[in-house]
Amino acid sequence: MSCVIVTLSGCFHRDDSSSVHYETLDRVPGQDTDRARKLTVDAVDQIDHAKWDEAKITLEKALDADITFGPAHNNLGTVYLHENNIYLAAWEFQYASKLMPYQPEPRSNLGLAMEAAGKFDAAIDDYDEALKMDPDNPQFLGNDARARIRRGEHDTKVRELLMQLVYVDTRPEWVDWAREKLVLMTSEPATEPDTQP
Task: Give residue 172's identity as a one-letter amino acid code.
Answer: P
- pTM of the shown model: 0.79
For residue 115, the number of C-alpha atoms closer than 13 Å in the C-beta half-sphere is: 22
Read off the pLDDT of residues 76-121 as tens digits, 9 standing for 90 and up: 999 999 999 999 999 999 999 999 999 999 999 999 999 999 999 9
Is pLDDT above 90 for 141? Answer: yes
Q: 149 lies in a domain?
A: yes
Regarding whether 166 and 88 lie in a shared domain, the answer is no
Which pLDDT value is given to residue 91? 98
Mark which of 99, 118, 134 sits at the end of a domain.
134
- What's the domain range around 143? 137-186
Q: 14 lies in a domain?
A: no
For residue 66, CA distances in Å to 60, 89, 178 come to 10, 19, 41
For residue 44, the number of C-alpha atoms closer than 13 Å in the C-beta half-sphere is: 11
CA angle, 113 as apex, 109 and 118 as ends, to 5°? Answer: 140
* Residues 6+ positions from 79 with CB-CB distance below 8 Å: 47, 52, 55, 56, 59
Regarding whether 125 and 42 lie in a shared domain, the answer is yes
Mean pLDDT of the chain: 86
Q: What is the CATH number of the domain that holds 71?
A: 1.25.40.10
Q: 8 lies in a domain?
A: no
Regarding whether 120 and 93 lie in a shared domain, the answer is yes
Instruction: Report the number of distinct structural domains present in the chain.
Output: 2
| Distance of alpha carbon 89 from alpha carbon 169, whole angstroms | 26
Q: 196 lies in a domain?
A: no
Regarding whether 148 and 101 lie in a shared domain, the answer is no
| Distance of alpha carbon 24 from alpha carbon 142, whole angstroms | 42
Task: Give residue 166's identity as a one-letter amino acid code.
Answer: V
Task: Give residue 152's identity as a one-letter amino acid code.
Answer: G
Provide the sign of the torsion angle of the four alpha carbons 169, 174, 175, 181, taken in this order: negative
